[in-house]
Amino acid sequence: MKTSGDPGLGLLFFGTDESWPLVEFAEAAEERGFDALALPEHSHMPVASRYPLGELPDRYRRVLDPYIGMSMVAARTTLEIATCVSLLAQHDPITHAKTVATLDHLSGGRLTLGIGYGWNRAELADHGRRFDERRAVVRDHVTVMRALWRDEVAEYAGSHASVSPSWAWPKPVAGSVPMLLGVQPTERGRADVVGFADGWMPGSDDQLPDGLPALCEAWERAGRSGTPTVWPKINFTADDTDLLTRIERCRALGVDRILLDLQSVSRDDTMRVLDRYAALVEKSRR
């Protein structure tokens, strides 16, 4: 969390093969003063998927791979890059550690991982993961990845992931890559953030007024140093006053970066909404 100064302002973009081209969007975002771009992840979308919010949006069937997408964005812009969120349980942790460390190395340390457990039972099952074990799987994967980044000779044996004594380079620029856990602001969610994450990626800024003080209290009680890094998402709104109010609330609460969510915006409306958001952000800074 920030104790002074404005938070960063980035965008969450659901890039697909039919959306506004990802790199063009990233370049346009940077030109308009945004400082970060976050991408979501789904490996595939089983027909049996049950979307928790009703009818499955078509973009979920067509989403680009975030790691390839982030590498393209990093090569063409100076934006910070992030996932919102990456589904760690669906990756091999050793290969994933290499991918993440390489991307962070090549981007000059610009990578932040928003990580999540995953809502899609069918997607997890196709990766050989049980839904009720996904939290434990993610915790083991995080431990393996950090060991490979941190240690000259890494070793770990867990219930869901392990690595024999091994060398692995490159290391991330800062020695590790921040991992922000996307969970609900429940007692269990807070315990997970405090237990193994570097911070919190709330699904909505509406979770902050109650969730953030409770998280900070739990963080301090657990003896964690500093404060949790917090990147909330502000869902798309067509109401200018509402958006400005939400940005100001995030600033007042001391979040590190705000992600403005454009994932539900159509291709035809993308640049119009981006221009509108840029003008409002500039207005909010005056």
d(CA 135, CA 151): 24
**3-state SS track over the chain:** CCCCCCCEEEEECCCECCCCCHHHHHHHHHHCCCCEEEECCCCCCCCCCCCCCCCCCCHHHHECCHHHHHHHHHHHCCCEEEEEEEEHHHCCHHHHHHHHHHHHHHCCCCEEEEEECCCCHHHHHHCCCCHHHHHHHHHHHHHHHHHHHHCCCEEEECCCCEEEEECCCCCCCCCCCCEEECCCCCHHHHHHHHHHCCEECCCCHHHHHHHHHHHHHHHHHCCCCCCCEECCEECCCCCHHHHHHHHHHHHHHCCCEEEEECCCCCCCCHHHHHHHHHHHHHHHHC
pLDDT digits (tens, 9 = 90+) for 68-113: 999 999 999 999 999 999 999 999 999 999 999 999 999 999 999 9
Q: What is the pLDDT of residue 286?
A: 65
Structure confidence at residue 238 as a pLDDT band (50, 70, 90):
confident
Mean pLDDT of the chain: 96
Structure confidence at residue 237 as a pLDDT band (50, 70, 90):
confident
Distance of CA 99 to the CA centre of its chain: 16
Q: Which of 4-8, 169-173, 229-233 has the lowest mean pLDDT?
A: 4-8
CA distances, 138 to each of 118, 133, 204 (Å): 10, 9, 22
**What's the predicted TM-score (pTM) here?**
0.96
For the cut 80, the answer to whether the pLDDT of residue 2 exceeds it is: no
The sign of the torsion formed by the CA atoms of 270, 271, 275, 276 equals negative
CB contact at 8 A, 147 and 154: yes
Radius of gyration of the chain (CA): 18
For the cut 70, the answer to whether the pLDDT of residue 3 exceeds it is: no
Nearest to 13 by CA among 279, 238, 229, 233: 233
CB contact at 8 A, 38 and 82: yes
d(CA 52, CA 88): 20
- For the chain, list the domains and their CATH numbers: 8-285 (3.20.20.30)
**85 preceded by a cis bond (ω within 30 of 0):** yes
d(CA 14, CA 159): 34
